[in-house]
Amino acid sequence: MQQKTILVSIAILLIIGSGIAWKLSNSEPSPRITNFEECVAAGNPVMESYPRQCQNNGEIFVEDVGNELDKTDLIRLNTPRSNTVVESPLVIKGEARGFWFFEASFPVMLTDWDGRIIAGGIATAQRDWMTENFVPFEAQLVFTIPADIYSKKGTLILMRDNPSGLPENDDALEIPVVFAEGDGEVPVACTQEAKLCPDGSYVGRTGPHCEFAQCPSFEGGGSGILPFKSGVHGTVLRGPTCAVVQNHPDPRCEDMPFETTVQIFAKNGAHDSPFSIVSTDKAGNYAFSLPPGEYTLVPLGGEPFPNCSSTGINIEPDVMSTVDLFCDTGIR
């Protein structure tokens, strides 16, 4: 009887063991984790260090923050941070040693996952850059995500300006970024850019070719003197945006809009008392409604750059004149 009980117990154990073995052999293997993002997606704990770390089965994966830590004594980025979601227009702010600039600026570019450049521009110093200390800078990039983009990841690159052209003087800060969902479905110019109208209102780009909508008929108002139907409007641009001795991200090196303040002085008015003042919008547009007469337009620049040129204008009755203003960046 005892021998029979032992045989039955052995049989049961064999059946249970066979069942476990069958289940293990037919279950799908856990996907292999190879990077930080996969580790986080699997629900593993994340250590809030910088860079962040994720642990899976005793293996630690570190978040990619580019070469930010290697460049922290040369250039520091406040916004955007590594791996943050970005959209157009992308505002870039930080600080860099004075020798990172040349003539108060340095180039920036944005690339997609495959390394294709989708935007390029210029970061400008916000105060005197002739120093070895840190100097705050700002830049803005407007971009459209290509329709055939493989990944929503990209790279923001802030390049040290190198007028010498010598390879040993090249340097760059590179951080990974993530493009916002939906970027590229509609041309950015149709959804982001606006034009300041003479009456102080704004119109955007519309239609299949992203044309600017028509401004309302000018009836006075906006930033100026009422109720005159005459005045002036235009765009303030700054340039050159890249040196002729360098291959910058944008081969066209076009002049860029300049956000600043424009003052207007009457011909016989006080030289230290503007007749009217207005700020440009992000596209560099400004507008004044003015009584007929002779005036001088004065966009405000920086010290020493951008160096903005004053422009004289004769305002005629019932005429809205167009005058574009220019500020020299000093880049050569």
Question: CA-CA distance, 153 to 86, in Å (whole number)?
Answer: 10
Domain boundary, last residue among 62, 85, 109: 62
> In this predicted model, what pLDDT tens digit does every residue of 255-269 receive, in sequence order?
889 888 888 888 766
Going from the C-alpha of 3 to that of each of 6, 13, 15, 208, the distances in angstroms are: 5, 16, 19, 89
- Domain count along the chain: 3
Query: What CATH number should be reported for the domain holding residue 235?
Result: 2.60.40.10
Do residue 137 and residue 116 come from a single domain?
Answer: yes
Q: How confident is the model at residue 101, as a pLDDT?
A: 95
Do the domain assignments include residue 53?
Answer: yes
Q: How confident is the model at residue 191, as a pLDDT?
A: 42
Domain encompassing residue 323: 193-328
β-pair partners for 153? 178
Q: How confident is the model at residue 213, as a pLDDT?
A: 59
Domain boundary, last residue among 27, 62, 97: 62
Sorted by sequence, the CB contacts under 8 Å of residue 158 that are 6+ apart come out as 75, 77, 92, 94, 96, 106, 108, 123, 172, 173, 174
Do residue 142 and residue 244 come from a single domain?
Answer: no
Q: How confident is the model at residue 138, as a pLDDT?
A: 94
Question: CA-CA distance, 255 to 283, in Å (whole number)?
Answer: 12
Question: CA-CA distance, 126 to 137, in Å (whole number)?
Answer: 5
- Are the beta carbons of 305 and 298 closer than 8 angstroms? no
Q: How confident is the model at residue 184, as a pLDDT?
A: 43
> What's this model's pTM, rounded to 2 decimal places?
0.49
- DSSP state for residue 152 in the 8-state scheme: S
* SS3 label, residue 64: coil
Do residue 221 and residue 313 come from a single domain?
Answer: yes
Do residue 57 and residue 90 come from a single domain?
Answer: no
Do residue 24 and residue 51 come from a single domain?
Answer: yes
- Are the beta carbons of 279 and 273 closer than 8 angstroms? no
Do the domain assignments include residue 185?
Answer: no
Q: How confident is the model at residue 324, as a pLDDT?
A: 93
Do residue 212 and residue 281 come from a single domain?
Answer: yes
Domain boundary, last residue among 179, 211, 231: 179
Segments in the chain below pLDDT 50: 183-194, 199-202, 207-209, 218-227
Q: How confident is the model at residue 214, as a pLDDT?
A: 60
Do residue 281 and residue 231 come from a single domain?
Answer: yes
Question: CA-CA distance, 32 to 185, in Å (whole number)?
Answer: 34
